[in-house]
Amino acid sequence: MDNIQKKKIIIAMSGGIDSSVAAVILKKAGFEVTGVFMKFWREPGIQKWNKCCSPESEKRARRVAMLLGIPFYVLNLEEEFKKIIVDYFLKEHKKGFTPNPCVVCNKEIKFSLLFKKAQKLEADYIATGHYAKIIKSNADSKLLQGKDKEKDQSYFLWQLNQKQLRKILFPLGDFTKKEVRNLAKRYKLPVSDIPESQEICFIQNTVGNFLKRHLKQKSGEIVDTKGKSVGRHQGLAFFTIGQRKGIGLAGGPYFVLGKDLKRNILLVTRKKRDLYKKELVAKNINWISGRRPNLPLRVRTKIRYRSGPDLATIKPFCKRTLRVIFDKSQKAITQGQSVVFYRKKELLGGGIIG
């Protein structure tokens, strides 16, 4: 972390262990810290609160702020979150894609709307509890993977730019999750025993049930690779590439291989090897440096948070698109997901799988 003590900093505090420990680290380092709890959208008619912004989460964040003796604010972003994140999520699923709302949330909510709050409070920096690292310089700032390989969250940050990186701090970049938990216990934070949450924050049960409540879909045929009709589906939006459970076919296992939106057909296979491909096309490319590197380029590549990284070559394809050719075939390459590129531990950028 830069030697920039006594600077004002806004930290997003969710009431979880990571952001709470990050706030402690900043306070101990001498920053003038202010905590902000962001209240996101809550699905109407659902009694259970979102994991990310429940009253209990807010209370924990406030207790940590009081313990540290720092100012604390609640930022109501329900309307913005619904429009920018939830509506996007539903729109992409309706088109047959499988979006990653966390990537958009980082760009448009945490590092955009939170920036505006920081400016109003005349803060120099904003911080979060992400497991990632930023190396700042007078030239380009670089975004790197965090120390903890299992918890590294750089995958979700590929849409950030130089202007944002210059104003962001990630205090947990040089810590493992185990070390963070030990710090929470050492400082007696009221968050040390909170379990991990892996689900999408605004969905209370399953993605399928959420989509069924919000999207109207038409039933259609399920067809195998030989063109034979093997059943009926209740809506293409409820399926994703590689899915095995919930297809509703006997005599399996079957895997979702593709979607034909024009004919409203779900394509399935019984052969797992059919899911493997060596190429994809990426669109909406963003380079962290702000400049496209010389292509073709050898990179380490991830097509989902828990995959890879695996070696690949990226080449120009069409305007703002890239062709990604993997050394080894990848399982269930999925439209709408993010593909990200690394040079060693540095995140170069990424795009949306088309």
Q: Is 14 annotated as a binding residue?
A: yes
Q: Is 140 annotated as a binding residue?
A: no
Rounded Cα distance, 329 and 322, in Å = 17
The residue type found at 290 is: G
Q: Is 1 annotated as a binding residue?
A: no
Of 98, 139, 113, 124, nearest to 238 by C-alpha is 98
Alpha carbon 156 to its chain centroid, in Å, reads 4
Q: Is 201 designated active site?
A: yes
In sequence order, what are the residues at sequence separation of 6 or more whose Cβ sits closer than 8 angstroms to the Cβ of residue 149? none
Q: Is 13 annotated as a binding residue?
A: yes
Q: Is the dihedral of CA 221, 225, 227, 230 positive or negative?
A: negative
Tokens of 251: 């005599």
Q: Is 22 annotated as a binding residue?
A: no
Q: Is 17 annotated as a binding residue?
A: yes
**What are the distances in angstroms from CA 140 to CA 20, 135, 165, 171, 327?**
29, 9, 9, 20, 30
Rounded Cα distance, 96 and 272, in Å = 21
Q: Is 129 annotated as a binding residue?
A: yes
Beta bridge partners of 267: 223, 258
Beta bridge partners of 168: 126
Helices 87-94, 207-214: crossing angle, 10 deg rounding = 90
Helices 17-28, 177-186: crossing angle, 10 deg rounding = 70
Catalytic residue among 52, 53, 102, 105: 105
The residue type found at 13 is: M
Measure the N-to-C terminal CA separation of the chain; round to a whole number of Å: 37
Of 76, 11, 93, nearest to 41 by C-alpha is 76
Query: Which residues are annotated binding-site positions for ATP?
Result: 12-19, 38, 129
Active-site positions? 105, 201
Query: Which residues are annotated binding-site positions?
Result: 12-19, 38, 129
